[in-house]
Amino acid sequence: MDLAIVKDILNRYPLPLVDEILELKAGKMAVGVKQISKEDTFATGTNPESPILPGVLIIEAIAQVSAVAIHSEKKHEGKWALLAKITDCKIKRSVFPGDELCMEVFVTKVKKTIAKAKGIATVRGELICEAELLFSFK
């Protein structure tokens, strides 16, 4: 996959929630990580005395890794996969500064105008979040 495309997906200001893609199987699956630090403004903005990564941003991180997996196929070149629906989402516990969030996603269906993915987020092997995501192509 073109590195510029990966960087564009993962560095969309203001929410770059993936530091690195560790594994990628074009159009099938991807694994990405994010180091959560005290300097991340979203962590301190929630509660300055006890910073956490908001659950909605955990889901966004899963969605960003899903977008990399979806866009890694040439047939999606020039399209944007936009998050359209979140289903079967469960957030099991909070994520704190110092944690490394690992997102693993599997693309389960791709059609002309939509794509589905199933993803999980873990910290040190412990399940943090799981969700099914529906994307619409623009």
Sheet holding 29-35, edge to edge: 20-25, 29-35, 100-110, 114-123, 126-137, 81-91
The predicted structure's pLDDT at residue 127: 98
Tokens for 87, please give them. Answer: 């289903």
Per the model's pLDDT, the better-predicted residue between 87 and 40 turns out to be 87
Domain 3-137 sits in CATH at 3.10.129.10
Q: Does a cis peptide bond (omega within 30 degrees of 0) precede residue 16?
A: no
Q: What is the mean pLDDT of the chain?
A: 86
Q: For 85-135, write each residue's pLDDT tens digit.
A: 999 999 999 999 899 999 999 999 999 889 999 999 999 999 999 999 999
Q: How far apart are CA 129 and CA 136, in angstroms?
A: 22
Q: How far apart are CA 52 and CA 37, in angstroms?
A: 10
The residue whose two tokens read 């944007």 is: 80
Phi/psi at 44 (5° precision): -80, -25
Q: Is the pLDDT of residue 41 over 80?
A: no
- Domain boundary assignment for the chain: 3-137
What confidence tier does 45 reach under pLDDT thresholds 50, 70, 90?
A: low
Distant-in-sequence, close-in-space partners of 2: CB < 8 Å, separation ≥ 6: none
Between the CA of residue 94 and those of 76, 82, 102, 124, what are the distances in Å? 34, 26, 14, 13
Highest mean pLDDT among 18-22, 38-42, 45-49, 122-126: 122-126
What confidence tier does 17 reach under pLDDT thresholds 50, 70, 90?
A: confident
The predicted structure's pLDDT at residue 11: 56
